[in-house]
A and B are shown apart, each in its own frame.
Chain A
Amino acid sequence: MRLVVDLNRCQGYAQCAFLAPDVFAMHGDESLLYNPDADEAQREYVERAVAACPVQAILVDQVETPAGAAAGAATSAQEAPRER
């Protein structure tokens, strides 16, 4: 699953690193490093992190995207249930 953290917004509160330690990790006191292509098995933890982030800085795919990051042709995917 794809994700991105808006690091302008992120305050380094580390809730995500606590809830999904295989995806998010603090690096030093306030820097966050994350895996932008987390294993599907992490979804439940990542979703908890998304919900817990106090500044809502974590964005995960709202639509299904093709596995792997190649792909040129139409990325037809289901409509997102809701923006943000």
Chain B
Amino acid sequence: MSVDGFLQRLRSEGRIVVVGASLAGLRAAETLRAEGFTGTLTLIGDEPYEPYDRPPLSKQVLLGRASAEHTALPRRRAIDAEWRLGVPATGLDMAAKRVRLADGDEVPYDRLLIATGVRARPWPNEAEAGLDGVFVLRTRDDAVALQRRLAEEPRRVFVIGAGFTGSEIASACHERGLPVTVAERGDAPLVGALGGVVGRVAAELQREHGVDLRTGVMVTRLEGDSAGRVRAAHLSDGSEVEADVVVVSLGATRNTEWLAGSGLGAGPRGIACDAGCRAFDIRGIVTDDIFVAGDVARSPHPLFGYQFLSLEHWGNAVSQAEIAAHNMLSDSVDRRPHMWVPAFWSSQFGVSIKSVGVPSMGTEILIAQGALAERRFTGVYGYQGRVIGAVTFDQTRWLEFYQHLIETTAPFPPPFPTVDRRSDGQRPLPADFPDPSVPTHGPTVTLSGYSPADRRITFTPGRH
């Protein structure tokens, strides 16, 4: 059987299964059809909804300008898929090429795409997490529940964690006129993703808008009343904050547990894949029939020393899904690498915050345009003498220029005198990222080293 013959048959009558029916899963499915795949396409998703968009959940939806039930993603084309929604995949048999479902069904595949993303990390104390009024925000159901509670005008909302999502929630509460307290273990909001220099601007932004921001503290306990409703949070500095809504915003956990024991290189840091989105097995050998995309993937990037990057970025999910789908149907010479330059946006307190590259790799920052005090600036991050990332506050238009510098590994500090460099930008400052050995929930890009297979996982052969 020639390879060509195999691919031809795969394209015309093969079976492709996608696990995870969200942004990456949908865009991959569309790409498969766009590239001429006419076989059977099955989309498996544990949420009972067709693919919807998550970024609005902490923005338009919490502001009451859109409904959480109506963020379904538009379709680029018909995908003629078999949908298995509301049922999680519970296991993978790599040898028999089957995905096991919670309802006992098994779905065979010729090519598998894993796009199971991440889930919100819950409050670690289960009893406290179960109190009425304690929320996380990741899914449509989470958003419906939180939005409903905010509409009841709680006396105070308490947000644990000032990463992007936590800060956006605080911003929405402020706009709705709800008193809000934010507790952050780091020294400032967004510090894990953007460092201390920019974090301090984010802190001022919150305080100026009346957010009761507490930094450098940990939440030690959530307290409920006799009816099981949350009533207060206790902090490590001994203080207590009364609140009837608590939103736990402590980052995310990769949805890889269902692959335990399968032999795939999947672990708490995600599923390692090569630049062509092919998953590694536990031995560090690349598979040829299993692909990964989106938040669950960790993939090596040539611009960042081939370190494995885990990105919780909307744009990455789209781009990686398209590449994975293309490569699933292609011969090795026709495969494409996933070389998307990380890019992220957030919107909070009326400011558009965007980044490109990997700011958290940066050791220095230079304010190349605008000024920190004006909340309108472009910060450029340097690492070992080259430009590695950039962030803008209400200066989107400059971002593309710096993206180009990142792509061309331009020297840092940028040699040219910029058009608008004020006092802040005369020289680079330490970017002031927290000690990477101290876990934070903040960064949306995680450098996860060089090892494709997660060594913390023990190898147990899959059941047959």
* A interface with B by C-beta (< 8 Å): 1-4, 6-8, 10-12, 25, 27-37, 59-63, 65, 68-80, 83-84
Contact = CB atoms under 8 A, between A and B. Distances in A.
A7 B345 contact: yes
Nearest to A60: B74
B6 interface: no
A64 to B, nearest CB: 9
Given A37-B67, A65-B72, A78-B78, A28 B60 contact: no
Q: Interface centre among B72, B343, B351, by most A CB within 10 Å? A: B72
A36 B60 CA distance: 9
A69 B394 contact: no
B343 A75 contact: no
Contact of B75 (A11, A25, A65): A65
A83 B52 contact: no
A80 B72 contact: no
Contact of A3 (B50, B74, B86, B349): B74
A42 to B, nearest CB: 13
14 contacts: A4-B74, A7-B55, A7-B347, A12-B396, A28-B350, A33-B59, A37-B67, A37-B70, A60-B74, A69-B50, A70-B49, A80-B75, A83-B76, A84-B76
A34 B81 CA distance: 29
Contacts of B74: 1-4, 59-62, 65
B315 interface: yes
A30 B396 contact: yes
Q: Interface centre among B53, B76, B86, B318, by most A CB within 10 Å? A: B76
B351 A37 contact: no
Contacts of B345: 7-8
Given A31-B350, A33-B347, A70-B49, 11 more contacts: A4-B74, A7-B345, A30-B394, A36-B53, A36-B60, A37-B66, A37-B72, A63-B77, A70-B50, A77-B78, A80-B78
